[in-house]
Amino acid sequence: MTQTIQPIIRLVVSCNGEQYRVVDVTGAPDGSWVRERVYAKLNIPDDTQTDYSIFPSEIGSFALGDPLNDRDLFSLCRKYGDPSGSLKFFVSTSPNKPPSQYDPGYNSDLTSSFFAGHRSARY
């Protein structure tokens, strides 16, 4: 019995254009599966997911195009997805701003704690 090796596909997603999560969608059967993984990784509650859209994006940007339906999302993942996370998406209720009521579960104290412990370092 021969087992087919699936190419690794990782996406980079954000709800604010500053903090990012990596989503592994290797072996995704369809776009709705990809969408579910993205929403789960961003801690978007099930009861509010219909308010959100997934937009093509780049690091530091909001939406760079129209919201993606499941078919187009899956097509992009299959065509351009890679292990390095070259595909980036902005997830929000609006194409040009972060959602107003959203807590991604990021530890916002992480950066300040890191730099507080390294104040003597010169950059």
Query: What pTM, to 2 d.p., does this model score?
Result: 0.80
pLDDT at res. 100: 83
Give the helix/strand (H/E) hosting 39: helix 31-41
- pLDDT higher than 90, residue 16: yes
Angle between helix axes 31-41 and 70-80 (nearest 10 degrees) is 90
Q: What pLDDT, in 10s, does the model give residues 89-99? A: 999 999 999 99
- pLDDT higher than 90, residue 122: no
Q: Are strands 87-92 and 10-14 parallel, antiparallel or unpaired?
A: parallel
pLDDT at res. 71: 99
Provide Rg for the chain, Cα atoms: 16
Confidence of residue 3 (pLDDT cuts 50, 70, 90): confident
Q: How far apart are CA 21 and CA 88, in angstroms?
A: 10
Give the helix/strand (H/E) hosting 11: strand 10-14
Q: What pLDDT, in 10s, does the model give residues 58-100? A: 999 999 999 999 999 999 999 999 999 999 999 999 999 999 8
The residue count for the chain: 123
What domains lie within the chain, and their CATH numbers? 10-116 (3.10.20.90)
Q: What pLDDT, in 10s, does the model give residues 18-48? A: 999 999 999 999 999 999 999 999 999 999 9
Check residues 28 and 2 and name the one with the higher pLDDT. Answer: 28
